[in-house]
Amino acid sequence: MDVSRETDILICGAGAAGLTLAVDLARRGVSFRLIDRLDGPFAGSRGKGIQPRTQEIFEDLGVIDRLAAEGGPYPPQRAYRDDGAHDDTQGIAMSPPTVDEPYRAPLLVPQSRTEAVLRDRLAEWGHRPDYASRLTAFVDDGEGVRAHVTGAGGEQVVRCRYLIGADGGRSFVRHALEVGFPGKTLGMRAMVADIVLDGLEPTVWHRFHEGDMQRQISFCPLPHCDLFQLQAPIPFDGAADLSVDGIQAFIDARLPPGAIRVRAVRWASDYAMNARLADHYRVGRVFLVGDAAHIHPPTGGQGLNTSVQDAYNLGWKLGAVLAGAPAALLDTYEEERRPIAAGMLGLSTHLLERARQGEMRRGREVHQLDLGYRGSSLSLDRGGDPHRLMAGDRMPDAVLRGAGGQARRLFDLMAGPHWTLLLGAGAAPVAPRDGVRAWRVGLGGALPDGGDLSGLEAGGCVLVRPDGYVGARLAAGEMGGLAAYLAAVSVPF
Ligand SMILES: Cc1cc2nc3c(=O)[nH]c(=O)nc-3n(C[C@H](O)[C@H](O)[C@H](O)COP(=O)(O)OP(=O)(O)OC[C@H]3O[C@@H](n4cnc5c(N)ncnc54)[C@H](O)[C@@H]3O)c2cc1C
């Protein structure tokens, strides 16, 4: 047995959550290993909706343009009536970008391509997932975690400071921790398959028998390829036949036989829908992220997005604590992310009920732009009058102007692993410190024209966390609180 492997973080699971965390840690220079029990990358389209808030995160992680090139906009939905007539609607809320919300429509990207883009980004720092490596046991001794990993070369013991269970809905890590996973089985199973077919044009999302759980079936064309993603409820009992012939028979039982001809099945899966939330996201030095912590129906396309955002919330906190910030910072991961997942479970279950009644429209509520952490112990609001922007809110983008009059996007200033401190005109000077980039906004500052920046008042400041949420908003008379806040969350002076 090889016991020589040491690392700061061991990430178990190279799905969307594990890869996002790995990219964030890589850009922070944190040492980690990323393992997955699969022999190679996951191949299916499964979670294909990248919501606007996740697009902002992927911009920060340097992958949004590649993802946009791999994906495309959601096609209109074509709902067929029993007489063969149909109505085309754009059931997904899509609005043009604004200055403060640069992404306002979900992007359709098959999950396997999202993960491939994240792997490519990771490779730019010299990292890659170790496939065929399964976590089989671990012990947290208070000082670190000894993890047993079985791979082609036998068993290794990996000594790490923190273990992350990003190992999906059936999480081994969650089971080993004996963390409860209460919730309910929703009495519904579904098939999802990537198929090549004849008989449908690839410009719309074809939906048949909406609201009829016995016959409902849909075919969504996937961008830049000849595949459709088939989704349909299936009987609760019995195994689904996911072969070409099996899927052909399944379609023929719902549509006029021969109307659609299945040519190939590239990937297929069947699953029971559940809505469950882990009782804890952290036990000692072990954390749960993504589907390991919450599972729910796919309606509304929230799962992958919530998983990515879990990882994005945890990444900077792990980086800060490993660099010397107080360990209590890590407790805020569960404090902040568990309520978000609880809300998301309610939303996706509600959308499932509406889908059962044939209602497929999705509004802004699935974009995740309005989620935040106002009630968090990390949100310090002493900004004077209640403002549209408060501590805990997502920091909106803005266009400011530099000394030469050049436009500077706030998201560009925030991009990277640092904190961003925006000082209002006349605010007391703040000593430079590691990991905090300060900008004085207003006359005489580096950014003389604050444009339509929200929340910042003369003499005060807005401190934006590395994950793009307002950590602190302080009025002119409250600036003394800044140093204490930074010491609690960041590397000491
Ligand atoms: C039909 C369908 C449609 C969906 N549509 C959407 C959508 O539009 N938008 C959206 O946001 N979400 C959607 N989802 C949900 C989304 O696919 C999941 O939420 C997402 O995959 C969760 O990512 P994850 O990284 O947490 O887990 P996973 O993707 O499940 O990854 C977990 C990884 O851990 C590995 N692993 C497990 N155990 C071990 C072990 N012991 N050792 C090592 N590795 C291990 C697994 O091999 C796997 O690669 C959909 C899901 C389905 C089924």
DSSP string, 69-113: HH-EEPPPEEEEPTTS-EEEE--B------SS-S--S-EE--HHH
188/63: higher pLDDT? 63
CA–centroid distance for 486 within its chain:
26
Distance 305 CA to ligand 1 centre (A): 11
pLDDT of residue 4: 57
Query: Residue 148: CB within 6 Å of ligand 1?
Result: no
Closest alpha carbon to 53 in 345, 307, 412, 292: 307
Distance 143 CA to ligand 1 centre (A): 30
pLDDT class of 383 with cuts at 50, 70, 90: confident
Average pLDDT over residues 56-75: 97
pLDDT of residue 3: 58
Indicate the length of the chain as a whole number: 493
CB neighbours (10 Å) of residue 185? Answer: 12
Cβ proximity of 476 and 457 under 8 Å: yes
Composition of the chain by helix, strand, coil, percent to 5: 25, 30, 45
Distance 398 CA to ligand 1 centre (A): 34
Distance 467 CA to ligand 1 centre (A): 22
CA 61 – CA 309 distance, rounded (Å): 12
Q: Which atom of ligand 1 is nearest to the CA of 302?
A: 11
Burial class of 402 by CB neighbour count within 10 A (0 to 12, 13 to 18, 19+): middle
CA 124 – CA 128 distance, rounded (Å): 9
Question: What confidence tens digit (pLDDT) does each residue in 288-316 have?
Answer: 999 999 998 887 778 999 999 999 999 99
Cβ proximity of 217 and 208 under 8 Å: yes
CA–centroid distance for 37 within its chain:
21
Mutate to test the pocket of ligand 1, among 11, 33, 37, 234 (most ligand atoms within 8 A of CB): 37
Mean model confidence pLDDT for the chain = 93
Distance 293 CA to ligand 1 centre (A): 11
Q: Measuring from atom 9 of ligand 1, which residue has the nearest CA?
A: 301
Distance 332 CA to ligand 1 centre (A): 24
- Phi and psi (nearest 5°) for 151? -140, -165
Question: What confidence tens digit (pLDDT) does each residue in 465-481 have?
Answer: 999 999 999 999 999 99
pLDDT class of 2 with cuts at 50, 70, 90: low
363/423: higher pLDDT? 423
Query: Residue 274: CB within 6 Å of ligand 1?
Result: no
pLDDT class of 360 with cuts at 50, 70, 90: low
Query: Residue 392: CB within 6 Å of ligand 1?
Result: no
Tell me the residue ranges of DSSP E strands in 323-415.
Answer: 380-382, 399-401, 407-409
Q: Measuring from atom 11 of ligand 1, which residue has the nearest CA?
A: 304
pLDDT class of 1 with cuts at 50, 70, 90: low
Distance 18 CA to ligand 1 centre (A): 10
In sequence order, the β-bridge partners of residue 78 are 88, 206
Q: Measuring from atom 42 of ligand 1, which residue has the nearest CA?
A: 134
pLDDT of residue 350: 79
Distance 303 CA to ligand 1 centre (A): 8
Q: Pick the most confident of 77-91, 103-117, 183-197.
A: 103-117
Q: Which residue has the tokens 């960041």?
A: 490
Question: What confidence tens digit (pLDDT) does each residue in 85-98 have?
Answer: 999 988 777 889 99
In sequence order, the β-bridge partners of residue 470 are 464
DSSP 396: P
Domain residue ranges in the chain: 2-72+109-183+275-366, 380-489
pLDDT of residue 352: 73
Query: Residue 232: CB within 6 Å of ligand 1?
Result: no
Distance 347 CA to ligand 1 centre (A): 19
Distance 246 CA to ligand 1 centre (A): 25
According to CATH, the topology of domain 380-489 is: Glutaredoxin (3.40.30)
| Secondary structure (3-state) at 355 | helix
Closest alpha carbon to 470 in 376, 367, 343, 402: 376
Mutate to test the pocket of ligand 1, among 291, 305, 360 (most ligand atoms within 8 A of CB): 291
DSSP 326: -
Q: Which atom of ligand 1 is nearest to the CA of 49?
A: 8
Mutate to test the pocket of ligand 1, among 304, 309, 314, 352 (most ligand atoms within 8 A of CB): 304
Distance 155 CA to ligand 1 centre (A): 25
Tokens of 312: 């994005």
Sign of CA dihedral 114, 119, 125, 127: positive
Residue 194 has pLDDT above 80, yes or no: yes
Q: Measuring from atom 26 of ligand 1, which residue has the nearest CA?
A: 290
Average pLDDT over residues 39-43: 96
> What's the one-letter identity of residue 416?
G
Crossing angle for the helix pair 331-356 and 303-322, to the nearest 10 degrees: 180
Query: Residue 17: CB within 6 Å of ligand 1?
Result: yes
Query: Residue 351: CB within 6 Å of ligand 1?
Result: no
Crossing angle for the helix pair 303-322 and 52-60, to the nearest 10 degrees: 30
Residue 65 has pLDDT above 80, yes or no: yes
- Phi and psi (nearest 5°) for 409? -75, 135
Q: DSSP labels for 155-224?
A: EEEEEEEEEEE---TT-HHHHHHT----EEEEEEEEEEEEEEEESS-TTSEEEESTT-TTT-EEEEEPTT
Q: Measuring from atom 29 of ligand 1, which residue has the nearest CA?
A: 15
Which homologous superfamily is 2-72+109-183+275-366 in?
Answer: FAD/NAD(P)-binding domain (3.50.50.60)
pLDDT of residue 493: 52
Q: Which residue has the tokens 């963390």?
A: 179
Cβ proximity of 187 and 33 under 8 Å: no
